[in-house]
Structure 1
């Protein structure tokens, strides 16, 4: 190992700019993000105009939660005109927290002129509310921008509460809120502001019922954030982080959630998304540290436990994750999500039959049919456990519930082809999956194999060639391509494709492929 973390901080602080940079890169690679941030800070002090160094320092500082370094690095890039758009959000948050009106307005002007301009109307409206102006009039500027309008719709009732227009807020909320988790954030934000404005009864109507997390939230009413621009901006940044979470744009998610937490350090929802992004980008130790900041009595403690399990798995500590997942799934208030989490952990360790049982439990806890994804997970686990007769109905149910879900369509179609069952249906399923995701190499290979199996090698060949172009090392696509070439009499190309397939194939497949290379089909 290049660096022994505990003994290196002093060395970094006394190093020259170039050596500090080298040590920072080494610390980053070795998994010591805070030490890396310290190294970048030293290097940036020695080379204050180096834009590449400033960018590295900025991203590392945000990951480590070093706002001072992030601000310094961002200033270098702003002067050079090379700052990423999220740097303006950080500058806005820092200035707002410091009650720096000039700095807040300057940062917001840059936001409004950049690619994140769709956030400007909501931020401007919250500043107007703070300054005694009419925020709704400002918010109406978002009407001509669909994306800005989406965020404005969420914040309109919140701004009404902040402006002491509780009656109007109730009307606006009734039009927006329906039963379902997709409205949880608006319910919680509105309840927080009602309680912070002294309207506890209205707050309680929004988060009533017997949900355990709502019960914990009710205990905190009146103790949290008050209506302010800091509250509104933090929630807006969290919304964007939630919206992009599935896209795995980790640097932007980290910047958004760090900005949100700077304005409201008590928002555990933002901490959950920050931890997920940190873990997803390889900073598992930082992720676990952030999750550790979520108190045992937090309404989001179950999410923190699930995040801890995920971070442990990503860092290769699955054996530590298993008992945590079991305890979560078997707890008194265990949910469908908890059962699924445990099932995912077991599936990752090859315990497919047990995982299928957990997915079945998740379906029961969810009520009804559980949704396409749980049925899909149950079906795939049963299949991998060697229980095809039980897997088939679950996979068919998944396709029925998710007719536009390419994953479910492909898995069922490919599984039928492999078994030689109902090949016309299998081909139709794979054609639907391909229409949904025409550039997916795996789907192209599966559809091609369906054509090949039914004797249509001419249709199969171009799809297999396309699949290999998309995934040159894919063992399945290369093996099937070799089979197609051999069938068409193109023996040299067949052996070349099989040789490519053998490189990454597992032991059983590699033995089969070597036989083809030696003897053909």
Structure 2
């Protein structure tokens, strides 16, 4: 399922160099290379613009077409990509081009030509899994249901892809309204470890409910909610099942199977091959615009790639009355946070909280957004509401107490903060973030230093690659007066977080206390170059002026300590 053509850069540049006219060659190569640079930076809008410009000089160049097609799909212009794919001479050896050709056939209702295309062994080799799934759906949609189901049953026996076959066999029964048969197929699948994605889970619950297996559907919802800080869609489903209300249908009919197959593969690729997953998910969303789970994944990928405008656009395609609306708004808030637009993130979450006042997940993320924006006083009552909601549900989550503890600490309520940190540790005794924050805070306050050291040592054992936690270990040694022991962890911390001003400053202090004063001054100057907070800057400048011993004496510390 490899979508990127090996050697594309070399082939396109070579094509540019043989074009007649040096000026024209420079224009083509310049546009192409600019497109490649934009693509490497995951700027799909710019990549598409440059590749289309390059195509204007050589409209049938297969490497340029391939690059332009990828960029158009990634930015969500699948219709444009289908038109470009029609100009590829050989689609059977170009997986994305082949997918687009088939997607165009499905969109236009040309199912027989699509089935003929997939009969080609070369096409099956290019898209081994997708070809098998789509063949089953094509047969079902062209009236050959028995053959289509047989094809999916055969796939269900595949040693590697059997899960896909079983899921699509069940989905085919759902699409045709045979919920009893669907529930029987789902019954053979472990509901937690083998569910492919959120959509598949929802359809499974829907099939169980409509087959009269309401108790099994409720048990699955409860299993999925266990350990999570809420889920608006699942909670809404649970309320509908409990009240005996109908569950909203997820599949309009068997034509949906084509999009879901692409979504299945894209969901699996998302674990490590995001850019490739994005292409599958974009085509899936194109074929089934109300496949909102695809929009959620696309938005998450784009947000992780710092393509904030594209991510925002796709999250906003999910309508407010859709079951996935709350998750889409949470995703939108995450985009705003990643783009450092905290006010818009908070406004989005506040509006969502008004729509779902009893939703623990929404309240928690609202509190977290306020904390990240350093609005600790505003965050505290929202954390309180989150804790109250969890208690009312007879549930407890360490994350709620940790977030509230940090906010209390930063609003000078240390007794309240320590109590919440310790409550978080009761719920998750070995949680490294809690151990590190509480241990570091105790060190900073000069309290319970031996206990703090044990906490931080435990945190380091669990997160040996975290520069911030290793910095805490070095700093507790420093506060205990064990300066020689502080050197190694502090140097490790700086190696892991080389541009953090606080960690560099700490290493400077440790060097000073072991007599390495020139190295200490170098580290302090490095810390200054990384834009420390004003108070820290002033202290570093003072250390450079009169030395750490004098500064500590001014602060009331004993130099020997």
Report the TM-score, using the length of structure 1 for normalisation: 0.77
Q: Please give the residue correspondences for 1:189-204 in structure 2 after superposition, counting only pairs within 5 Å.
A: 189-190=203-204, 194=207, 200-202=210-212
Is residue 2:492 matched to residue 1:466? yes
Per the TM alignment, residue 355 of structure 1 is displaced from its structure 2 partner at its CA by 1.2
Instruction: Name the counterpart of 2:432.
Output: 406
Instruction: Name the counterpart of 1:230.
Output: 258
Per the TM alignment, residue 489 of structure 1 is displaced from its structure 2 partner at its CA by 0.9
Aligned residues: 485
Q: Deviations over 1:181-237 (max 9, x none)?
A: 999644412356x49xxx945587776799435659946427624376415414413
Structure 1 stretches of 5 or more lacking a match?
1-14
Is residue 2:459 matched to residue 1:429? no
Instruction: Name the counterpart of 2:157.
Output: 140
1:185 to 1:407, Cα distance in 2 relative to 1, 3 A? farther
SS in 2 for 1:370: coil
Structure 2 stretches of 5 or more lacking a match?
1-25, 222-233, 549-561
* Mean CA deviation greater in 128-137 or 403-412: 128-137
1:103 to 1:80, Cα distance in 2 relative to 1, 3 A? closer
Task: Indicate if the aligned counterparts of 2:176 and 2:253 stay in contact, CA closer than 8 A.
Answer: no
Q: Please give the residue correspondences for 1:364-513 in structure 2 after superposition, counting only pairs within 5 Å.
A: 364-366=388-390, 367-504=393-530, 505-513=532-540
1:151 to 1:464, Cα distance in 2 relative to 1, 3 A? farther
Is residue 2:197 matched to residue 1:170? no
Instruction: Name the counterpart of 1:8.
Output: none
Match 1:63 to one of 74, 88, 111:
74
Distance 2:519 2:32 in 1: 49
Is residue 2:62 matched to residue 1:46? no
1:320 to 1:477, Cα distance in 2 relative to 1, 3 A? closer
Q: Deviations over 1:8-50 (max 9, x none)?
A: xxxxxxx964675588699999999657524422313435658
Instruction: Name the counterpart of 2:22.
Output: none
Per the TM alignment, residue 347 of structure 1 is displaced from its structure 2 partner at its CA by 1.8
Instruction: Name the counterpart of 1:273.
Output: 297
Per the TM alignment, residue 122 of structure 1 is displaced from its structure 2 partner at its CA by 6.6
Match 2:543 to one of 508, 516, 519:
516
SS in 1 for 2:157: helix
Instruction: Name the counterpart of 1:290.
Output: 314
Distance 1:149 1:459 in 2: 55
Per the TM alignment, residue 299 of structure 1 is displaced from its structure 2 partner at its CA by 1.0
Task: Indicate if the aligned counterparts of 1:364 and 1:370 stay in contact, CA closer than 8 A.
Answer: no
Instruction: Name the counterpart of 2:125.
Output: 109
Higher helix share: 1
Match 2:333 to one of 286, 309, 312:
309
Q: Deviations over 1:415-465 (max 9, x none)?
A: 222222222222222222222221221121111212222233333212211
Match 1:264 to one of 279, 285, 288:
288
Task: Indicate if the aligned counterparts of 2:48 and 2:72 stay in contact, CA closer than 8 A.
Answer: yes
Distance 1:507 1:80 in 2: 61
Task: Indicate if the aligned counterparts of 1:91 and 1:107 stay in contact, CA closer than 8 A.
Answer: no
* Mean CA deviation greater in 257-266 or 313-322: 313-322
Task: Indicate if the aligned counterparts of 1:398 and 1:408 stay in contact, CA closer than 8 A.
Answer: yes
* Mean CA deviation greater in 31-40 or 496-505: 31-40
1:90 to 1:412, Cα distance in 2 relative to 1, 3 A? farther
Per the TM alignment, residue 350 of structure 1 is displaced from its structure 2 partner at its CA by 1.6
Per the TM alignment, residue 333 of structure 1 is displaced from its structure 2 partner at its CA by 4.9
Larger gyration radius, structure 1 or structure 2: 2
SS in 2 for 1:368: coil
Question: Root-mean-square deviation (CA), in Å?
Answer: 4.4
Task: Indicate if the aligned counterparts of 2:299 and 2:311 stay in contact, CA closer than 8 A.
Answer: yes
Q: Deviations over 1:268-323 (max 9, x none)?
A: 11112212322332332222322232222111122222223233333444333433
Per the TM alignment, residue 75 of structure 1 is displaced from its structure 2 partner at its CA by 9.3
Distance 1:457 1:79 in 2: 66
Task: Indicate if the aligned counterparts of 1:40 and 1:56 stay in contact, CA closer than 8 A.
Answer: yes
Q: Deviations over 1:451-489 (max 9, x none)?
A: 222233333212211221122212122112112211111
Instruction: Name the counterpart of 1:4.
Output: none
Task: Indicate if the aligned counterparts of 1:346 and 1:354 stay in contact, CA closer than 8 A.
Answer: yes
